[in-house]
């Protein structure tokens, strides 16, 4: 099955375009934001039976630029930016960050579909190369990109962490739902022996991390303390 992903908030417009694409044998998948779109793109490209035809980003209502390079690095599908408000500076920045096309909408739905097909046909598909295993981690609206300044995105909100805090969060999400002993976390992140001073350093770092996440998300507590044992990344998030 062939798919395209449309990253946009306008459900009605998406459904209108989806009907036209379905006639061409291509099914549409909508994502509300870039983090969700990246996660869905990765899922499709990992599938052995599905094909990702292209990714469309509706620039009118999506804050996409900060994550565009990540999307480019993680998928081989053409990335097209559609906008009602063409801007030269944004055009250049989008192309420099990995978009294959940036342009204004055409007059009719059919013209837009034809324009996209023409653009895809004219784009020299990136050579599929063996890529080192990606360290990008995406879970339930949370995305950690080690290659992108140790930044975490939560529903497209960008949060910069110190490296130790980022590494702790990455390790907790990587083993989400499991109770991880203090010593195991410390040795995995600091790569040093665990002692009483190490415990205090870990507690302090997790405290800072927890507060940073709460401040950025309106109070959501992602990390559960298992008393006298360790920490666990929650599968359900509470405020």
Beta carbons of 216 and 152 less than 8 angstroms apart: no
- The fold for domain 163-238 equals Arc Repressor Mutant, subunit A (1.10.10)
Q: Which CATH class is domain 2-122?
A: alpha beta
Q: What is the pLDDT of residue 69?
A: 94
Q: What is the mean pLDDT of residues 76-87?
A: 93
Locate the domains of the chain by residue range. 2-122, 163-238
Confidence of residue 128 (pLDDT cuts 50, 70, 90): very low
Q: What is the pLDDT of residue 188?
A: 93
Question: Is beta strand 137-139 parallel, antiparallel or unpaired with respect to 142-145?
Answer: antiparallel
Q: Report the distance separating Cα 35 and Cα 70, nearest Å.
A: 10
Distance, first Cα to last Cα, the chain? 40
Looking at per-residue pLDDT, the higher value among 219 and 147 belongs to 219
Per-residue pLDDT at 135 exceeds 70: yes
Q: ∠ at Cα 31 (29, 36), nearest 5°?
A: 120
Question: Is beta strand 157-160 parallel, antiparallel or unpaired with respect to 151-154?
Answer: antiparallel
Give the burial class of 208: count Cβ atoms within 10 A of its Cβ; 0-12 exposed, 13-18 middle, 19 or more buried: middle
Q: What is the mean pLDDT of residues 60-72?
A: 93
For the full predicted model, state whether its pTM sits above 0.85: no
Token reading at 24: 């061409």
Q: In what order do the strands lie in the sheet with 137-139?
A: 137-139, 142-145, 151-154, 157-160
Confidence of residue 235 (pLDDT cuts 50, 70, 90): confident
The sign of the CA dihedral 99, 1, 37, 60 is positive
Please name the residues in contact with 17: beta carbons below 8 A apart, sequence gap of 6 or more: 6, 28, 109, 112, 113
Per-residue pLDDT at 129 exceeds 50: no
**Of 80, 38, 36, 74, which is closest to residue 55 (Cα–Cα)?**
80
Confidence of residue 133 (pLDDT cuts 50, 70, 90): low
């Amino acid at each position: 099955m062939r798919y395209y992903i449309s990253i946009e908030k306008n459900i009605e417009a998406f459904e209108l375009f989806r009907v036209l694409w379905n006639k061409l044998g291509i099914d549409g998948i909508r994502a509300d934001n870039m983090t969700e779109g990246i996660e869905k793109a990765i899922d499709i490209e990992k599938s052995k039976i599905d094909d990702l035809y292209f990714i469309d980003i509706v620039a009118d209502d999506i804050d996409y630029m900060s994550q565009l390079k990540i999307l480019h690095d993680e998928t081989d599908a053409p990335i097209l930016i559609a906008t009602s408000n063409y801007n030269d500076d944004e055009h250049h920045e989008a192309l420099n960050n990995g978009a294959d096309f940036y342009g204004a909408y055409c007059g009719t739905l059919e013209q837009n579909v034809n324009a996209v097909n023409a653009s895809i046909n004219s784009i020299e598909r990136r050579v599929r190369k063996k890529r080192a295993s990606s360290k990008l981690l995406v879970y339930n609206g949370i995305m950690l990109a080690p290659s992108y300044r140790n930044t975490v995105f939560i529903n497209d909100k960008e949060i910069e962490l110190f490296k130790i805090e980022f590494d702790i969060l990455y390790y907790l999400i990587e083993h989400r739902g499991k109770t991880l002993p203090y010593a195991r976390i410390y040795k995995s992140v600091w790569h040093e022996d665990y002692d009483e001073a190490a415990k205090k350093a870990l507690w302090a770092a997790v405290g800072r991390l927890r507060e940073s996440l709460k401040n950025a998300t309106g109070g959501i507590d992602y990390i559960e303390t298992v008393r006298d044992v360790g920490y666990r990344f929650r599968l359900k998030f509470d405020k």
